[in-house]
């Protein structure tokens, strides 16, 4: 494997795309790690209504927006990504909790 190149060290589209592919892999590894905790959360929560926790959601979004600003990233883009992720997680948690309750 070739060493990572800084953006300014990339001379071709292939150079840039190799770095984007490397970063996508790293991001997916982190999403997979995060997903493991969401699954665990679904095991801990006891009622499907608990899947949606608005106070926690707004706290996460607030943190993500601030971290994005600190990194000079677009905070609206980060919020959109996180809301999509969180909405998906809520339905995922609901499904797990409801199925467990039905099985009882």
Task: Give the integer Cα–Cα distance in Å for 85 and 60.
Answer: 11
- By C-beta, is 18 or 82 nearer to ligand ISJ? 82
- By C-beta, is 10 or 38 nearer to ligand ISJ? 38
Q: From residue 15, how far is each of 12, 20, 36 by CA, in Å?
A: 5, 9, 32
Rg (the chain; Cα; Å): 18
Least distance between ligand ISJ and beta carbon 20 (Å):
25
- By C-beta, is 15 or 58 nearer to ligand ISJ? 58
**What does the binding site for ligand ISJ look like in residue numbers (CB under 6 A)?**
38, 41, 51-53, 56-57, 60, 85-86, 89-90, 93
């Amino acid at each position: 494997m070739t060493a990572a190149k800084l953006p300014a060290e990339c001379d071709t589209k292939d150079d840039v795309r190799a770095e984007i592919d490397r970063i996508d892999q790293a991001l997916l590894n982190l999403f997979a790690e995060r997903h493991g905790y969401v699954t665990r959360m679904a095991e801990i929560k006891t009622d499907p209504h608990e899947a949606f926790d608005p106070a926690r959601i707004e706290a996460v979004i607030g943190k993500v927006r601030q971290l994005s600003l600190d990194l000079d990233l677009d905070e609206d883009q980060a919020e959109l990504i996180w809301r999509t992720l969180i909405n998906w997680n809520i339905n995922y948690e609901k499904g797990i909790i409801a199925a467990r309750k039905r099985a009882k």
